[in-house]
Structure 1
């Protein structure tokens, strides 16, 4: 089963990583300090794979993943979840040389409280990964250092107005300076960068999203010790990847 959708024909502006096949080893922008082993990204389109994944899921996913899938009320959300997790397990199994269903995933200690609900990790710690999905699309990253990804639909204008107050003050000011029609795309840009970074450090939204500045403009601003880039995904969406140096 192919895991990857073709890249969009017209990617948005900015330093972009195309989520295409083969995975991104040579397509990364030349970011200062990037290690020789680079993150690999896969973009999974639910519509292209949901029929096949329905057959694969009972053979590939853990019992708790299958139970989680059944909790989704909307069939589209359930299909996206299954595509994302089947894709992730097949990729991790291929990297580790084991059957996808036998891949053991645990949770690292949370950096905020120390409880075991931090970012998902593999037992030996030699391979890192991150997964994000929104309706119809999933983004998967595999790397040799901690990594985080996020993909989101560009929100409606009223959502931007309601959510901008949780951003860093400088990011909120950057959004306010834009014409109203440009704000939804800019908000998606800053939010995916921010969530990718927070997932990479293991806190997720348990940390204050206003604490770190990642920027709402065309160029991301990475927090110290991290690399941050936008990812080229289909129109109407935005995505980002964060990688620890």
Structure 2
């Protein structure tokens, strides 16, 4: 119950801000039709829905809305998405290039990397009727997505104007974003490293249920050419002089 409440609270958050393990996100998206049984006599094989056939929207992959949009056995119309290197991060200053808010500056607060979408805080919005059954019509402003690079561009910190960017390396080997118009470095904002658990990794305070770095780096396993049962027998001082019978696999 507690985990369900947590997931409900972070269902509308970006994947990086939600701070969920990649293995969990991958497991929630799986739609397995058939899988070989566990055992060393079986070759691992699985028949499942490929990741590129999912329809990505503003709903995150671990939500019920995403599962309803990608039900098993239902094929969606393929959507062409341009492959592009990620240059936008949460907290970036951007300028909108289309729509009623064209020319306005804002801050990126949501990213859907699978569709090259970003939303800008308080801009490019529409009125949406609330679904709450209160008997009173309520409307909220919903931020609509914009396509990176064409409908929204990063702002050059030198003159606060839109510019195209490119990843390059400095003399010290650091990878940075460079404005193609002025050559100015566009730093990655601190908000890009924030999660629902902490503002930054350096300021995070360990809790009672957290694993400390000292415990994580402690070496507790020494590999041996022995099975688990043989290790237990060695620790308990048990000697076994029996000769095992030969086993054949077919």
TM over 0.5: no
Report the TM-score, using the length of structure 1 for normalisation.
0.25
**Relative contact order, higher structure (CA 8 A, sep 6+):** 1
Larger C-alpha radius of gyration, 1 or 2? 2
| Higher share in helix | 1
Report the TM-score, using the length of structure 2 for normalisation.
0.25
